[in-house]
Structure 1
Amino acid sequence: MSKKPYRTLDARPNSESLVKPGELVDVIEVTPLTLNDRRIYNQLLENAWDAIDKPVSHVIQKSMLRGSHNSNDRVGESIERLMSAIVKVEVVWDGEPAVERVQLLGGNVETVRSDGLIEYEIPARLRKIISNSTVFARLQREIMFALSSKYALTLYEIVQKRGNLRWRSSENFSVDDLRGILGVPKGKLTNWSNLKLRAIEPAIAEVNALSDYMVAIDPIKTGRRVTHVELRWWKKDGEGQGAAERALKFSSVGRKAKAQEQEENVQVPVAPSIKPRPAWLEKRGDALKTETYETARLRHPGYDIYYIEGQWRDWSAGMEPPKDPDRAFLAYIRKFAEANPI
């Protein structure tokens, strides 16, 4: 009997983090949103979480959405943009992949008092998507409020959705899809160099400075034109996570300067073609040849080759050592990829 998949609704927010359905991470924005809009929407989802799949109204204090601003004007403007926002979500309909267009927020009532309440609804079609969700991103509240651009927040959510995948550490996107997911307005940053300079590189610098992951986005050309990108991510070691925690304690000005400093000092490509071999794997045996890792990555893009090496070493423990371990590993990862397609 197959194991029932873990539902997103079974995940619980806590004092440090909130949960966002994966279907609402990789959305294509038809109506671009601001950084403040995205933060407020994440808070509205969290506030409604206990009954988010039910046809009920939810209530939240405006002060919880206001952040450091004294005025409620920005909250009202964000609510109106979220009401009018339409996003495209990839779903499965009658067993076939499909695109569903939904509104992010339904009708609502805002009391006039500055310390008043907002009553709001989650649209019916969106409730169904959330109810069926089995993939989610866990967002650290402190990081969400520390990131200073909507592109950085979106990239952070993209990586948080994928970071815990055991044998996957990269994914390819078309440039058009990446622009849509980041929410780049139509007619803006139309060529790759501008998109990279104004949106991608600053977002990478912030996520690398403040989150638990390192991220790299490498261009892929078709002919002379960049048509796709490869997104790669890997967990920071203890020292890297400590540096991120310290960076979060800086003032907002200090955080921005820290991110800019990283961006200046770490130019694209942000990461080596192969991430460093983790310390836990060193105890399992000597490293293979560098070209073996490169070959494995080229033949099987998207898989975490070090995780699979660990599986291989566990599987072969107690057996007679192979005469050619590099060739044996490449044979193992081929069979692993066939059995675990992504």
Structure 2
Amino acid sequence: MPKTARTALKKAALPLEVHASGDPWQPSGDEVATVPLPNDVIITKVEGDYTERDRKLWAFLVAAVWDDLLTTRIHEIRVSKINAIFEQLGGEKTASWIWESAKHLSKTHVEYELNEDGKRLVGISNLLNAQTHKNIRATGLLRFDISPLLCEVIRNPCRFSRLRIHFMIGLSGKYAVTLYMLLESIANKKTPVLDVELSQLRQWLKVPEGKLNRWVDIKRFILEPALKQINDNPDAAGFSVVMDTFKESRAVDRVRFILTKTAGRLADEKVLKPQTIEQPKAADNSGALRLPTSAYEQAKKVAPGLDIYYLETEWRSWLTNKPWPNNPAGSFIGFCRSKYQGKGRL
């Protein structure tokens, strides 16, 4: 049976809810190459020597063997072929790093959670198993497998990020890939806003203890360079980003990222239509509304004791398909006041 026919039968036999798109081996292809990876796996519960380069390689390998994840145990890919893609997108010219990265991935563990049929399933797995002995290296083939249980999670995620493989590979900087993954994890929400305490953001980015302790350093050496790469090429990233900060006792305590998808991405998602993406409605522009710091300070006064950041999420959802208010700050403060004074008090 021809390979194309076998592939078609595999796809027809699998009840896929989400799909990879494009061709990871064609950086200049007409269709954007994406891979949908579970948020738990790529962001919040990963332990080990997991570098930015390791993140890129793992996502690429998953995309490269996507059609065979549930049907093939051992995968073989020529190392030189992998490295050619990374070199084309600004990576290293020699392929020795791939073997070292494969070692890192074999020692990196991830915990994941699933909600299936009302039941909660919890699992743990390493990201990759690979043969890296010098005799194997001599063949030039990377032989690896991904745990069958983890493959099931990857192919049927509850919450996922649709990573743009070639854009991610081209990112530079120690923290840029992780920040891009974090932002992509909320890009498909109805209100694409990531509101995070600075201490939590440091943990997610894996900033070493004792390093970059001042906000000005985190902003200068981590956030601004990474956001610049996204905002300089939003068509490749799929979105643009605006960053706001909030202070507590004169020190920055919380960071907010507001995403706006590109028109090209919205058009692509109409074709993909995966069931687990929260497709934004045409008139839902609430995520693009920016509030001044004074609005949050006033909201705390009119709704003492309530979580105004949670209320903001509710307010933005309430604005869905409504005309933008002429005075967003006043609208938000009024919303918080009504929540505190009457119906719906939290």
TM-score under structure 2 length normalisation: 0.61
Residue 96 of structure 1 deviates from its aligned partner by 8.8
- What stretches of structure 1 of length at least 5 have no aligned partner? 1-6, 242-279, 282-287, 314-325
Out of 13, 20, 33, the position equivalent to 1:12 is 20
2:19–2:35 contact (8 Å) kept in structure 1? yes
Contact (CA 8 Å) 2:127, 2:147: kept in 1 or not? Answer: yes
Matches within 5 A, 1:116-265: 116-166=140-190, 168-210=191-233, 211-236=237-262
Residues 51-95 of structure 1 show CA distances to partners (whole Å, capped at 9, x for unaligned) of 324571222221232132442211111111111123454656997
CA contact (8 A) 1:55 1:124 kept: no
Quote the Cα distance in structure 1 between the aligned partners of 2:151 and 2:112.
13
> How much has 1:144 moved relative to structure 2?
1.9
Q: Is contact 1:54-1:127 (8 Å) kept?
A: no
Task: State the one-letter code of the partner of 1:75.
Answer: I
Distance 1:299 1:155, change over 3 A: closer
Q: Distance in 1 between matches of 2:153 and 2:182?
A: 18
Deviations 1:276-302 (A, max 9, x none): xxxx86xxxxxx9x99xx799977423
The alignment partner of 1:112 has SS state of helix
> Residue 35 of structure 2 contacts residue 164 of structure 2 at CA under 8 Å; is this kept in 1?
no
Partner residue in 2 for 1:31: 48
Letter of the structure 2 residue corresponding to residue 161 of structure 1: S
**Number of residue pairs the alignment of both structures matches:** 267
**Percentage identity across paired residues of the two chains:** 24
**Structure 2 residues not aligned, in runs of 5+:** 1-14, 24-31, 267-281, 284-288, 300-307, 324-330
Mapped to 1, the partners of 2:199 and 2:335 lie a distance apart of: 34
Conserved 8 A contact 1:28-1:177: no
1:47 aligns with 2:57: no
Q: SS where residue 21 of structure 2 aligns?
A: coil
CA distance in 1 between partners of 2:132 and 2:144 (Å) = 7
Change (3 A) 1:98 1:174: farther
Which residue identity does 2:175 align to in structure 1?
A: Y
Inter-partner Cα distance in structure 2 for 1:224 and 1:99: 41
Moved more, 21-30 or 76-85: 21-30
The equivalent residue for 2:312 is 301
Contact 2:103–2:130 (8 Å) recurs in 1: no
**What SS does the corresponding residue of 2:321 show, helix, strand or coil?**
helix
Determine if contact 2:126/2:147 at 8 Å carries over to the other structure: yes
